[in-house]
Structure 1
Amino acid sequence: MKLRMPIRLAALIVLALNVASQADDHMRSRADKHAPAALMGDHIHDPGEWMVEYKYMNMYMDGNRAGSHRLSDAESVAFGASSDPVTNRGASPTAMTHEMHMLHLMRGITEDITLYTMIMMPSITMDHIRGPMNPAGPGTSFTTHNSGFGDLTIGALLRLYTDVDDDVIFNLGASLPTGDIFRTTSEPTGGAVEQPLPYPMRLGSGTFNARPGITWKHYYQFGSFGTQFQTNLPVGRNYRDYSIGDEFRLNAWYSHLITHNLSTSVRLENLWLTNYDGEDPQSTDALISTNVESFRGGYSLNLGLGIAALVSGHLLNVEFVPTLYQDLDGIQLETDWSIAASWSKSF
């Protein structure tokens, strides 16, 4: 009789652990198992498990903003005459579409470590209006385009803490300077002069970047909450003698389950960017505001509205992200909205 109580207690403990494990697996296999589509680095995989993902992102900019004030195309050209430094004498940007195609591979190494890599292919198109000093004619328009391979991202996701309802994951990430940062065009001057594409149209940073981040996710029976702090920090300057600005993103989101295989999400993002350091020797501030290193920083507040669906083991994830507020250094193209969509499969 005396042996039965310890045996029964041990059996209850094993049963409780099995129930907790099953609840854990159940919650992490729902439609909300990943963060909204625009985010990454929020989940890990079982040892030996692979995940392949294709992600598409598109950021659309229309019109310029000085600080928090929107400017017309004519006001953007005029603004440059009295700005510090003087700019937009050659041209002023009017709109930009920045598309990104990404192939994301992940593999679980242990229960708490997942390795990943991401191949990025940007496609950037920018519309302009020519300024008062342009030999091709003030007030006329032109478009430039650039595309190809971007910087390669690699890293490890380390789960620092987990229980039935929670995961805390550290992102030990980095990017490698595989994207081209120096291409030229004669479009701005109508073929008269060849000049480098401005900073926002370059395909990479040209530097090795540290990308540390941390994510906390909490699961409920009816949904999940998450918050993530993610950075992008260039190390030194590139061969063109400049470095892009530091990037800091603070996100919080809530995903609500409609069914086990369908969820919706709402997300709030704070984005801080610092100005560039150094200067490309062929960058001429007066030509266009996108060449001005001190006009690259600012703050943005973004809203994300998403939906995710599990279909026969395939996760489809879409998010629309309008910009709520922007306060930009100098004069810059404002971001109106972005969209992210992904397909992923684990095996």
Structure 2
Amino acid sequence: MADDHHSGRRKLADKHAPAGIMGDHIHQPGQWMVEYKYMNMYMEDNRIGTQTVSDQAAIDWGATSHPVTNRGATPTQMTMEMHMMHLMYGWTEDISLYSMVMLPALTMDHLRGPGNPAGSGTSFTTHNSGMGDLGLGALMRLYSDERNDWLLNLGCSVPTGDLFRTSSAPTAGMMNQTLPYPMRLGSGTFNARPGVTYRHFFDLCSFGSQATADLPIGRNDRGYRLGEHYRLSNWFQCLMTDNWALSIRDQHDWRNNISGQDPDATDMLISTNVENFRGGYWYSLAVGTQFTVGKNYFNAEIVPTIGQNLDGIQLETDYSIIASWSLAF
């Protein structure tokens, strides 16, 4: 493709999609881009399907659920932070290569249940942080003209995140237990991460749509694989000036339950170890801003969750915050 696909209209503040979108643009041959992205997802209160329940109700519900759960504890809130280092390189006019190093930090608060030897009704916190799974891939331009771009994302993840850490916090130091599924740093499997993105540029605004999937391959060393994750996002950006844009974006997430079982996961202890209580549907509506300062590009969004329908009982998602800085050279 000619070099004009990377100039003119596509140099303005909406040249990149909102902060929650990855894989939406490619670079000129020989051009590098470095990016730091920070993401924080906050969850509080348990939800059964579409209904929010109290902490005590979550423990009581677990006594008659199938399987029985939350006898050891129930989660009450969780913060999922992610620091991401992103590197892109324009290999050809139509192909850019990328890598992503993930550094998650996970914190979950709990209320002990009636089967906990440390005492029912008391609270504790678990934390885990370190390197997550490594992302690798290529972005390919399928079609481009003066106003439109179609991109294909051929991505994957490599299982570099730790699955084996333990904690003695649930029993107040009496014994170590393997951290439950959402507190682990990676999937433990190689995952295919395909995606397709469409963008249309008007004179003073732009529209985009992206569909992606996260598809685990096989099972990990603990005998399970995470559920498939499908996402659809649509966004609209409006230029306030050449260097500043505002955005609005909707996001649909569908996640399947875990396949297989970790032999160290005991369903009766806590709902976060129940494989059939990990799937569901989430709908979010994000507002954001993008702006440039010289060669520096800044991007930020706040992403409240508007609706969710969860399998079994899980912590509900309240909102996410996403912010990034990038530089192309």
For the aligned pair, the TM-score class normalised by the smaller chain equals over 0.9
Q: 1:260 aligns with which of 242, 263, 268?
A: 242
Tell me what 1:55 maps to.
37
1:213 aligns with 2:224: no
Equivalent position of 1:320 in the other structure: 302
Cα displacement (A) at 1:24: 6.0
Deviations 1:117-165 (A, max 9, x none): 0000000000000000000000000000000000000000000000010
Q: Could you tell me how far apart the structure 2 residues matched to 1:163 and 1:84 are? A: 55
Q: Are residues 1:232 and 2:214 paired? A: yes
Aligned to 1:281: 263
Counterpart of 2:226 in structure 1: which amino acid? I
Structure 2 residue matching 1:107: 3-state secondary structure? strand
Indicate the residue corresponding to 1:118 in structure 2: 100
Query: How much is the aligned-residue C-alpha RMSD, in angstroms?
Result: 1.2
How far apart are 1:280 and its partner, in Å?
Answer: 0.4
Return 5+ residue gaps in structure 1 as ranges: 1-16
Shift of 1:107: 0.2
Q: Residue 209 and residue 22 in structure 1: after superposition, are their counterparts in 2 closer, same or farther (change >3 A)?
A: closer
Q: Mind listing any 5+ residue stretches in structure 2 that lack a counterpart?
A: none
What is the CA–CA distance in structure 1 between the aligned matches of 2:195 and 2:121, rounded to whole Å? 45
Does 2:53 align with 1:71?
yes
Cα 1:23–1:238 change in 2 (3 A) is closer
Matched, 1:306 2:288: yes
Residue of structure 2 equivalent to 1:147:
129
* Contact residue 47 and residue 53 of structure 2 kept, 8 A: yes
Are 1:251 and 2:233 an aligned pair? yes
Deviations 1:3-30 (A, max 9, x none): xxxxxxxxxxxxxx99xx7586111111
Other-structure match for 1:90? 72
Q: Would the aligned equivalents of 2:6 and 2:28 in 1 still touch at CA under 8 Å?
A: no
Q: Contact 1:184–1:195 (CA<8 Å) still a contact in 2? A: yes
Q: Deviations over 1:156-206 (max 9, x none)?
A: 000000001011000000000000011111100011111100000000000
Name 1:190's counterpart in structure 2: 172
Deviation at 1:223, TM superposition (A): 1.1
Q: CA–CA distance in 2 between the matches of 1:260 and 1:105?
A: 25
For normalisation by structure 2, the TM-score amounts to 0.99
Contact 1:24 1:165 in 2 (8 A): no
Of 73, 76, 91, the residue aligned with 1:109 is 91
Letter of the 1:163 counterpart: D
Match of residue 147 from structure 2: 165
Aligned to 1:14: none
Tell me the amino acid that sits aligned with residue 171 of structure 1.
N
- Figure out how many residues of one structure are paired with residues of the other and give that number: 329
- Corresponding residue of 2:185: 203
SS at the partner of 2:11? Answer: coil
> Shift of residue 57 of structure 1?
0.1
* CA offsets 1:218-249 (integer angstroms, 9 cap, x no match): 00110110000011000000000000010000
Aligned match of 1:293 in 267, 270, 275?
275
Structure 2 Cα separation of the partners of residues 31 and 255 of structure 1: 9
Letter in 2 for 1:159: R
Number of the residue aligned with 1:40: 22
SS of equivalent to 1:82: coil
Give the 3-state SS of the residue equivalent to 1:74 in structure 2.
helix
1:9 matched residue in structure 2: none
**Which residue in 1 is equivalent to 2:110?**
128
Aligned residues with identical type, % of pairs: 59
Greater Rg over alpha carbons, structure:
1
Instruction: Pick closer, same or farther for the CA change 1:70–1:29 going to 2, 3 Å.
Output: same
Note if contact 2:5-2:144 (Cα within 8 Å) is conserved in structure 1: no
**1:313: Cα distance to partner?**
1.2
Q: Counterpart of 1:29?
A: 11
1:326 and 1:52 mapped to 2: Cα distance?
Answer: 34
Q: Check the 8 A contact 1:305/1:319 in 2, yes or no.
A: yes
Aligned equivalent of 2:328: 346
Q: Is the 8 A contact 2:37 2:323 kept in 1?
A: yes
109 and 22 in structure 1: CA distance in 2 versus 1, 3 angstrom threshold: closer
Q: State the secondary structure of the residue aligned to 1:250.
A: strand
Aligned to 1:336: 318
In the alignment, the residues of structure 2 paired with residue 27 and residue 332 of structure 1 have an alpha-carbon distance, to the nearest angstrom, of 44
8 Å CA contact 2:5, 2:145 repeated in 1:
no
